[in-house]
Amino acid sequence: MVPDQSFQHAHSAHCESGVMSLMMHHYGLPLSEAMVFGLSGALMFAYLPFVKLGGMPLIAYRSRPRAIIKGLQKNLGIKMKMQTFSQPAKGTKALDSLLEQGEIVGAQTSVFWLPYFPEEMRFHFNAHNLIIYKKEGDEYLISDPVFETPVRCETQALQKARFVKGVMAPKGLLYYPVHVPETINYAVVIPKAIKKNAKAMLKTPVPIAGIRGIRYLAKAIGKLEQKDRRYAKLFLGHIVRMQEEIGTGGAGFRFIYASFLQEAGKLLGNPLLGETSQMMTLVGDQWREFALMLAKAIRSKESQTTDFLALQTKLESVADAEAAVYRKLLEGNLV
């Protein structure tokens, strides 16, 4: 595709929505990160005790990796070319030739193997997204949306980061748009995406996802009383990390969604969306209060006891508040 302008980096809260927002801007469709996040219906919660990440259960505050890319295609009629590779060398060659053709290319990578990441933030998380927009000598120029400014990375290092194996293995995934619509009928797509997302959060058939997933995690916290103390503390710390550190975290996603509701409300001139945006902001604040309680618990001394029941109760009240937002969105008239 022919870009609208030379590539512009922007600082985003979350990698996948950031990448898609930057790409859409590049090809003449100015979609904010919040709009990308909301229109792809990416807000979620899932607690998967049987999927382990570094020995701890997976807790996700948004839909699974690649869901934003896929959701945008489905809901907005954008078409993306997505390619994975069986051999690392082939993956690097394909990337280089796309860059030579002037494309900007999205890629999935492992955080651990990206040398520009702060040393203390490098963990084995394999679903980090970024844009490669140029190659100079042996170095790629990379727009990593969660960094303030563009970064650089050597060929070998990026290849390693693209081809790690394991949970959510990227398999060298590259992606770029092949069709971007010029206009979007927001009056149709916004209500549809919101209703669908609210329904997914409220009416999941499985107890591990949506609001039920939040309650399930709350119960698991209550049960920590009987577990080994070190494990209990690590578990609580793990929740904070999943919530605040990876990507942008649970509270962060609630704020992005609140920003989306506000923007959508303005676009459609709908006061209900503005109102629910404020409600969602308060939900995000409550998630942060919960994180603060967890941090106090993990920093507590050996002699101090942790009130797991209080943590459980707090998380249950967060679930109640979040459910109220979705109910209001489902019941209200969004057009």
Partner 1 sequence: MDNSKVPQHNISTYANNKKAIYATDENGKYGIIASSGWDVEEAATKQALKELERLSSQAYDQALSGQASPLYFHMYDRRMDLQTLAQATGMFQWRIKRHFRPTAFDKLSAKMFARYADTLGISIQELRELPDRRANGA
In the complex, what is the shortest distance from the CB of residue 159 to partner 1, in angstroms, rounded to a whole number? 12
CB 122 within 8 A of CB 111: yes
CB 280 within 8 A of CB 258: yes
**Cα(231)–Cα(273) distance, integer angstroms:** 42
In the complex, what is the shortest distance from the CB of residue 60 to partner 1, in angstroms, rounded to a whole number? 16
In the complex, what is the shortest distance from the CB of residue 13 to partner 1, in angstroms, rounded to a whole number? 5
- Helix (H) / strand (E) element for 179: namely strand 174-179
41 vs 145 by CB, closer to partner 1:
145
Q: Kindly indicate which of the ranges 121-129, 185-193, 213-221, 327-335 contains the residues binding partner 1, using the contact rule CB under 8 A.
A: 121-129
Q: In the stretch 30-59, what mask flags binding to partner 1 with x, by CB under 8 A?
A: ----x-----------------x-xx----
CB 186 within 8 A of CB 114: no
CB 79 within 8 A of CB 73: yes
User: Is 164 a binder of partner 1 (CB under 8 A)?
Assistant: yes
**Cα(187)–Cα(329) distance, integer angstroms:** 15
# of chain residues touching partner 1 (CB under 8 A): 55
Q: SS in 3 state form for 277-335?
A: HHHHHHHHHHHHHHHHHHHHHHHCCCCCCCCHHHHHHHHHHHHHHHHHHHHHHHHCCCC
Q: Which of 107, 240, 325, 329 binds partner 1 (CB under 8 A)?
A: 240
User: Is 130 a binder of partner 1 (CB under 8 A)?
Assistant: no
User: Is 165 a binder of partner 1 (CB under 8 A)?
Assistant: yes
Contact set with partner 1 (CB under 8 A)? 11-13, 34, 52, 54-55, 112-113, 118-124, 146-148, 160, 164-167, 169, 233-234, 237-238, 240-241, 244-245, 248-249, 251-252, 255-256, 258-259, 262-263, 277-278, 281, 284-285, 288, 291-292, 294-295, 298-299
